Amino acid sequence: MAGAKLLWFAFLCVAMMSMATAQSSRSKSKTGKGKEDLKKEINKLWREVNLLKEMQALQTVCLRGTKVHKKCYLASKGAKSFHSANEDCIAQGGTLSIPRNTDENSSLRSYAKKSLTGVRDFWIGVNDMTSEGKFVDVNGMAINYLNWDRSEPRGGTRENCVAASIGIGKWSDEVCRNEKRYICEYLIP
Ligand SMILES: [Ca+2]
């Protein structure tokens, strides 16, 4: 229902914009300044319409995937290397999923279990590519939560990308160019 409301609001904005445009072309007496104001107003409305479209797209993602706390997760259809997987998520307006605490990790694992059948593990947005042993998120920011499996990480400079196991949700470092399924996360504004 929220989606329908958004669309309705977007429609109203567009209607107002076209009315404003029509009015401006009718009133020949309008000064240059008046036209500038109108232009500004139309640009503002246009930005709002685009923002609404983005929110609508986000809601669609959330409906197709799952919504947990303030994030939506959507499982990948295919397997990709770590970099390609993250690029794919970014192209859709998200990032590789980054579990920030035990709750998020277990929600992510249960969604993965349902949606990524027949795989052992999946990429998460954590890596130590820039500085060996210093694991950060895909934005390069330090992370407070880690959930290593027993005796992990152990790949040294050969394994710099992190995967979570479907079975228990524990993490291990893996070779980044390996192709794995993944889950993108989208932050809800
Ligand atoms: Ca490493």
Domain boundaries, the chain: 2-64, 68-187
pLDDT tier, 17 (very low <50, low <70, confident <90, very high otherwise): low
Closest CA to 96 of 153, 157, 139: 139
In the reported structure, the alpha carbon of residue 154 is separated from the centroid of ligand 1 by a whole-number distance in angstroms of 8
CA 106 to centroid of ligand 1, rounded, Å: 24
Between 14-18, 86-90, 123-127, the lowest mean confidence (pLDDT) is in 14-18
Closest to 71 measured CA to CA, from 89, 52, 53: 89
pLDDT at residue number 158: 97
Report CA Rg, the chain.
23
For 60-75, what is the mean pLDDT?
87
Ligand 1 centroid to residue 126 C-alpha, Å: 11
Q: Which residues of 132-146 are buried (b: 16+ CB within 10 A; e: fewer)?
A: eeebbbbeeeeeeee
Distance 122 CA to ligand 1 centre (A): 17
pLDDT reading at 31 higher than 80: no
Can you say whether the dihedral through the CA atoms of 166, 76, 90, 187 is positive or negative? negative
CATH number of 68-187: 3.10.100.10
> Contact, 173 vs 111, CB < 8 A?
no
**pLDDT at residue 93 in the model:** 87
Q: Kindly state the tokens that stand for 80.
A: 């990709």
140 vs 144: CA distance, rounded Å: 13
pLDDT over threshold 90, residue 188: no
For residue 146, the CA-to-ligand 1 centroid distance in Å is: 14
The tens digit of pLDDT for each residue in 136-179 reads 999 999 999 999 999 999 999 999 999 999 999 999 999 999 99
Distance 98 CA to ligand 1 centre (A): 17
